[in-house]
Chain A
Amino acid sequence: MTRTNLNRFGTLIAFVLLCVGFSIAAPQAFASPANVFNLVQQMATLAIVATAATLVMTISEFDLSVGFSASLAAVICFVLFGQGYDVWLAVPAALLAGLAGGAANGVLVARFGIPSFVATLALGTILSGFAFGLSGGQSLFQSVPDAFKALARGDVLGIPVLGFWIVGVLGVAAFVLTQTEFGRRLKAIGGNAQAARLAGLPIMRDVIVTFAIAGGLSALAGLLLAARLGSVQHTMGEPLLLPAYAAVFIGTTASPTGAPTVAGTLLGVAITGVMVNGMTIVGVEPFVQKIMTGVIILVAVLLRRVGRAK
Chain B
Amino acid sequence: MLELRGISRRFGATHALDDVSLALSEGEVLGLVGPNGAGKSTLIKIVAGADQPDAGEILIDGKPVQFHSAHDAYAAGIRVIHQDAPLVPGFDTVENCYLGRHYPRRAGLIDRKAMREAIAEVAADIAPELDLDLPVMFLPPAERQFVRLLRAIADKGRLLILDEPTAALPAEDAERFYEVLRRTRERGTAIVLVSHRLDEIADFCGRAVVIRDGRIVARFGTGEVKPEAMIAAMGGSATERSTRATDTSAPRIIELDGVAAGDLSRAASLHVHAGEVMALYGLAGSGRSSLLNAIWGAIPSTGSMRLEGAAYAPRSPRDAIARGVSCVPADRHRSGLFLDQDLVFNKTLPLLSTYRRARGLPVPDTAAERAEFLVAAERVSLTYRDPQQLARTLSGGNQQKLIFSRWANRHSRVMLLDEPTEGVDVMAKATIKEIIRAIAADGNAVLVSTSDRDEALELGDRIAVFRNGGIVRIFSRAEASAEALSVAAQSREAA
Q: Which of A182, A192, A196 has the most CB of B within 10 A?
A: A192
Are A191 and B353 closer than 8 Å at their CB atoms? no
Closest CB-CB distance, B197 to chain A, in whole Å?
A: 26
Are B338 and A187 closer than 8 Å at their CB atoms? yes
Are B334 and A194 closer than 8 Å at their CB atoms? yes
Which B residue sits closest to A179, measured CB to CB?
Answer: B363
Residues of A within 8 A of B364 (CB): 179-181, 184
A137 interface hit (Cβ, 8 Å): no
B296 interface hit (Cβ, 8 Å): yes
Give the CA-CA distance A199 to B402 in the complex, in Å.
13
Residues of B within 8 A of A197 (CB): 298, 317
Are B318 and A259 closer than 8 Å at their CB atoms? no
B390 interface hit (Cβ, 8 Å): yes
Which residues B166-221 have CB closer than 8 A to chain A?
none
Are B349 and A184 closer than 8 Å at their CB atoms? yes
Are B335 and A198 closer than 8 Å at their CB atoms? yes
A202 interface hit (Cβ, 8 Å): yes
A200 interface hit (Cβ, 8 Å): yes
Closest CB-CB distance, B168 to chain A, in whole Å?
A: 17
Our pick among A182, A194, A199, A259 for the contact of B350 (Cβ within 8 Å) is A199
Give the CA-CA distance A196 to B316 in the complex, in Å.
12
B373 interface hit (Cβ, 8 Å): no
Are A184 and B340 closer than 8 Å at their CB atoms? no
Residues of A within 8 A of B417 (CB): none
Residues of B within 8 A of A259 (CB): 340
Closest CB-CB distance, B233 to chain A, in whole Å?
A: 35
A188 interface hit (Cβ, 8 Å): yes
Are B337 and A200 closer than 8 Å at their CB atoms? no
Instruction: Say whether, besides A191-B340, A199-B349, A181 and B362 are in contact (CB < 8 Å).
Output: yes
Are A188 and B362 closer than 8 Å at their CB atoms? no
A195 interface hit (Cβ, 8 Å): yes
Are A187 and B341 closer than 8 Å at their CB atoms? yes
Q: On chain A, which size bracket covers the interface?
A: 20 to 34
Residues of A within 8 A of B321 (CB): 200
Give the CA-CA distance A163 to B277 in the complex, in Å.
61
Which residues A174-215 have CB closer than 8 A to chain B?
179-182, 184-185, 187-188, 191-192, 194-202
User: What count of chain B residues pass the 8 Å CB interface test?
Assistant: 28
Residues of B within 8 A of A185 (CB): 349, 352
Contact with A along B308-335 (1 / 0, CB 8 A): 0000000011101100000101000011
Residues of B within 8 A of A180 (CB): 362-364
Are A200 and B341 closer than 8 Å at their CB atoms? no
B339 interface hit (Cβ, 8 Å): yes
Are A188 and B349 closer than 8 Å at their CB atoms? yes
Which residues B376-418 have CB closer than 8 A to chain A?
390, 406
Our pick among A181, A187, A194, A199 for the contact of B353 (Cβ within 8 Å) is A181
Closest CB-CB distance, A185 to chain B, in whole Å?
A: 8
B345 interface hit (Cβ, 8 Å): yes
Our pick among B338, B352, B390 for the contact of A192 (Cβ within 8 Å) is B338
B77 interface hit (Cβ, 8 Å): no
Which B residue sits closest to A199, measured CB to CB?
Answer: B350
Are B336 and A198 closer than 8 Å at their CB atoms? yes
Closest CB-CB distance, B405 to chain A, in whole Å?
A: 13
Closest CB-CB distance, B348 to chain A, in whole Å?
A: 8
Closest CB-CB distance, A285 to chain B, in whole Å?
A: 42
Are B327 and A257 closer than 8 Å at their CB atoms? no
Residues of B within 8 A of A200 (CB): 316-318, 320-321, 350
Are A195 and B352 closer than 8 Å at their CB atoms? no
Are B334 and A182 closer than 8 Å at their CB atoms? no
Give the CA-CA distance A179 to B358 in the complex, in Å.
13
Residues of B within 8 A of A182 (CB): 362
Which A residue sits closest to B321, measured CB to CB?
Answer: A200
Residues of A within 8 A of B362 (CB): 180-182
Residues of B within 8 A of A179 (CB): 363-364
Which B residue sits closest to A191, measured CB to CB?
Answer: B338
Give the CA-CA distance A197 to B340 in the complex, in Å.
17
Contacts A180-B364, A200-B318 known; 14 new A-B pairs at CB < 8 A: A179-B363, A181-B362, A181-B364, A184-B345, A184-B349, A184-B364, A188-B341, A188-B349, A191-B340, A191-B341, A192-B337, A196-B349, A198-B335, A202-B316
Between-chain CB contacts (< 8 Å), 7 pairs: A180-B362, A180-B364, A181-B362, A191-B338, A191-B341, A195-B337, A199-B406
A-B pairs, 9 with minimum CB distance: A200-B317, A191-B338, A181-B362, A200-B318, A199-B350, A257-B340, A200-B321, A198-B329, A181-B352
Q: Which residues of chain A have a CB within 8 Å of any CB of chain B?
A: 179-182, 184-185, 187-188, 191-192, 194-202, 257, 259
